[in-house]
Amino acid sequence: MIKKENIEEFAYNSIVALILENHYRPGDFLLEAEITERLNLKSRTPVHHALGQLVAKGFLEKKSKKGCFLPPLTPEDAEHVFFARENIEFQAAASAALHASDEEIDELQMIIQQEMETGESGDIIGYSAINETFHKFIAQIGKNRYLQQYCQHIFWRSNCYVFFRYYQFKARMVEREFKISPAQHWKIAEAIAKRDADEAGKLMKQHVRRTFENIFNKI
């Protein structure tokens, strides 16, 4: 028998994969019954919990009596989302430079190495997961629980746009993205290792801004 935690993790990862693989579009509702059947699960509960996690993270929105849906995407909303993200993550990276331990910096560098290896394999879903781990870990080692909370929410909200870009431009942008993003992450990690809060924050802000600029003319 599969453990409850494994079933819920399977449901969560499967829903993210379905979104990445273009089974759902911005504005679409994700129906528990339909997803449960698609995943061959006996109960809706794991799907219900997985959708709840994605709502809590800000990736999905919820309407009373209608369910969870992918929020519509607009240039104005994208600008607001990424403006918030670049400023929040600026502070998170600066805080990490001031408060991270040497062991945590070593772990951060290992995460980037894993990111590079995952990118070389062409695994978009795996790459998305390790990219989240990088940003989440920087917020964590900054030792500010409020920044951790806000970073997670705004990261997933911005991922609505990142995933949509994958839908439309996967064939010609993924290989380039797999090379550029880890290189930028490595520079951020180097600034954190040098305890240079200003540089770490500036590099993170530039990194998030580049993501926005790549998306803005494609939505």
Domains of the chain, by residue range, sit at 4-69, 75-216
Q: Give the per-residue pLDDT at 166.
A: 56
Q: Give the per-residue pLDDT at 72.
A: 86
Which tokens belong to 55?
A: 């709502």
DSSP letter, residue 62: E
pLDDT at 171 over 80: no
Q: Is the CATH number of domain 4-69 1.10.3720.10?
A: no
Q: Which superfamily does CATH assign the domain made up of 75-216 to? A: GntR ligand-binding domain-like (1.20.120.530)
With contact defined as beta carbons under 8 Å apart, do 167 and 68 qualify? no
Q: In 10 A of CB 110, how many CB atoms?
A: 10
CA 17 to each of CA 38, 147, 175: distance values in angstroms, whole numbers, following the listed order: 13, 27, 19
User: Looking at 142-151, 153-162, 167-176, 195-204, which range is the least confident one?
Assistant: 167-176
pLDDT in tens, 84-128: 999 999 999 999 999 999 999 999 999 999 999 887 777 777 888
DSSP letter, residue 100: -
Q: Give the per-residue pLDDT at 1.
A: 42
pLDDT at 174 over 70: no
Average the pLDDT over 7-30 and give the result: 87
Q: Give the per-residue pLDDT at 152.
A: 87
d(CA 183, CA 177): 10
The model's pTM is: 0.79
Q: What share of the chain is helix, strand, coil (3-state, %, to 5)?
A: 75, 5, 20
